[in-house]
Structure 1
Amino acid sequence: MKTIKLIVVFCCCLTSAHLFAQNSPQSIENDLLRILKKVNYYGAHKKEWKAIDSLRKQNKIFAFKLKYYTSKYPATINQSFISLIKERLVIATSADGLFRTYSWNTQLGNPGFDIYNVLQYKSNGQTASLLKMDTVGKKGNLSLWYSKIYTFTSNNKTYYLAPYNCIYSTAKAGQGLKIFTIDKGKLVGNPPLIKTPSGVYSQLHYDFDASSIADWKSYPTIYFDKSAQVIRTPLVDFNHKMTRKFITYKFTGRFFEKLKS
């Protein structure tokens, strides 16, 4: 009887060790990498017969697996995922480690980019994730990826200022900024913090002619100066040309308000 019990315990230990190994940080990354490589492979061959169907399938698999892992395993919010970044997954993480975005080009767009985003956040020691596929393929919706997350605290509440980029075609691009906060354990994506002469908003956005920056070594992007509590956005002129000037929004205690130039 004792021998049987020892065998049962030993088998249970082996099973637990196997399950742990399957869900270790490296195994999670390897699983995601395997699928993302397929996305990029079929994206490079999407003009071939049936490749577009495989591309759609692999994007869906990657999207739902990424959402699953980032929801179930809290440590993923701090995981570097270097191999995935090399495969063009764009990751942005807040300074406090409580909010992170994962963005990738599905390569289903024609001619612009179609982007899927997974938004991961942490509250009360638990992580959760949202899969944002609703930005793709619907008229009037932006297909965007997040490049950075700035952390801003006011009145004991933390806000995440997330600049993003869009590419519609070789001739047209866009940039903007969305604001998020975690409230009562939920990610809220529309706190109205930006005040302009036309109203109060939860985000900024502008489009520009991509040819206007074609010969620039680098070009301006949205920037948040934490010490000065200002948001600076590049000025786009009436001909949709990007300039090297900025529009400044200063936090006045309740809103970021546009300063007169």
Structure 2
Amino acid sequence: MNRVISALFWCALALVIAFIALPIVVVFAASLSPTGDVTFRPWEWTVKWYFDLASERWLGPFWLSVKIAIVVSAVSGAIGTVAAYVVVYEKFAGSEVVMAALLSPLSVPQIVKGVAVVLFLSVIGLQPLLGTPALIAGHCVLALPFVVRMVATSIANFDCNLFRAGQILGANQWQRIRFILLPAIKPGVLSGVTFAFIISFNNIPLSVFLVRPGETTLPITVINYLEYSLDPVMAAVNVASMAFILIVIFSFEKLGGFSAQLHGGSK
């Protein structure tokens, strides 16, 4: 009986992995197509389409997406860490309500948030902020709940006796936070920052309302390109984007233990 259950488990796992991996394999194969049409001829595969990514058509939106994602991850990381510390560690009357408010953007569809931001800026006469400023603000609202949740989990798992020990040894509150709490919750902070970066870099539903001509992010550029063409260049853009995101994830994992937080603890 155990062998049957084990076999079923591995079969199900293989099916799930295939379901996730096969689309990626198809896109990668399409990016190596020898012709301008998407074809599957492995014996004629070429990487020439990747050289087209060095054009300003793709580099401009890519660097804009990276800059926005860096600012969003830094701002939402700082605000989310402070908010999680105040709500979870420095508990006060109504902290549950504040936590619910911080997580509330998750319950609102991104399209609704995008329309709301556009209408708000129009009503108060700040339409010129559409573009990079609005994208940064909108992405911060979108990413903040993920940062708060990740950091809150790390703080909840933090051993408060370490804080008391620091206090007994004469460390003030700022020193206890800097040298005891922050190193202990670093996996949670870096997890939240990583999520914020990925969410900002790949966002479409919110960004489509906030971009303006000359300030278009990479995902929106891809969507606009797909309206008129489906060719190996598009597949190469997507493969390069996936590779970039993987590099970001592995970099944060190297810095502070991204996977440790996903398993519910500190590294």
TM-score where L is the length of structure 1: 0.28
TM-score where L is the length of structure 2: 0.27
- Structure number with the higher helix fraction is 2
